[in-house]
Amino acid sequence: MLKRFWLLLAQAVTVGVGLMLAFTALGPERQTATREAVVVREAPPAVAPSAPGTESYREAVVKAAPSVVNIYTAKTVRSPLTDDPLFRFFYGEQQPEQATSLGSGVIISEQGYILTNNHVVAEADEIAVAIGRDTVAPAKIVGTDPETDLAVLRVKASGLRPITFGTSDALQVGDVVLAIGNPFGVGQTVTQGIVSATGRNRLGINTFENFIQTDAAINPGNSGGALIDTRGNLVGINTAIFSQSGGSQGIGFAIPVTLARQVFGQIIEKGGVDRGWLGVSARDVAETGARGALIMGVQRGGPAERAGMRPGDIIVAVNGKPISDTGALINETAALAPGTRGTFDVLRNGKPLPIPVEVGRRPPPARTGQAVPR
């Protein structure tokens, strides 16, 4: 028993020293935006759904698992009490502590780009990525998008195996999916489940929500990992769970790969994401069965005011696409490039009125939704 204890202790020390060396080589610098072409792997069109009675998904795991990495972060935490003279008098000068956390990520190109969740790397001073069993490399942040909770990192390493991209648009309730990540820091783990729902929103996790819901087990450390189909293609980025205990209870959420591609494409090209902005406050139409977004206020000097929108107008469509509620209005407006003109169909005193608007650039969020870290 004593021999087993010392063996386990030696293994733990070896892993700890390796991570410390990786963190030592890191710096807080963020990589500047780049315009190099990034090539990703595309899955061929699906010929047929998975065969009934399939007993093993080993081929899908063998294909996707090398593209999923473990992410370790560290940041310096300084207590506000250390600024209190009375505290320093009794306890002396206190050294800042270093907090560490873990998550997962997905290799998206051979150039070293890795997609993960923003909350995995937010405020981190140091980031290390464990690739396979033998490689630990420092990583830099290319850019982040807190409003979708996505971030792109970059590492310098050879022999990277990027994930193959599938499509999330074709997912249906009941389809089998697999979640790959590093739960609780135990190492790469695969869990299996089905798609429980699509298009989940109004969860209060992110500003822009269109989640895939799954009962595949997602636990602390899974954030930023891959949700794949039975052919091993990426369909989502695991992000959060609904839980009252802190553990998986069969309700997990993943960002669809279609949305993730839009975000990381802009981050790699420009270092961030540009979205359209209208400059109004709105709420859902209160009448039962009514659809649209009722304008409650118009920001002075904003795009809506310049175009002639007024409080009381009900926006029912953007460029011909029906608007069901305020969430749809935010999403459709954000999809417009800043500086472009869109047609907002409104009801004013019950009469239809098309209003052309040159949308502005959405300001950065003052506060973002807090995902349950997975």
Q: Catalytic site residues? A: 119, 149, 223
* Chain center to CA of 266: 14
Q: How far from chain centre, in Å, is Cα 202?
A: 16
Long-range contact set of residues 239-248: C-beta below 8 Å, sequence gap at least 24: 239/117, 239/149, 239/205, 239/211, 239/371, 239/374, 240/203, 240/205, 240/371, 240/372, 240/373, 240/374, 241/372, 241/374, 242/203, 242/372, 243/372, 246/220, 247/219, 248/217, 248/218, 248/219
For residue 264, what are the CA distances in angstroms to 14, 149, 150, 290?
35, 11, 8, 36
- Helix, strand and coil content of the chain, in percent to the nearest 5, comes to 20, 35, 45
Residue 201: is it exposed, middle or buried by C-beta count within 10 angstroms (0-12/13-18/19+)? middle
- The 8-class DSSP code of residue 292 comes to S
Helix, strand, or coil (residue 330): helix
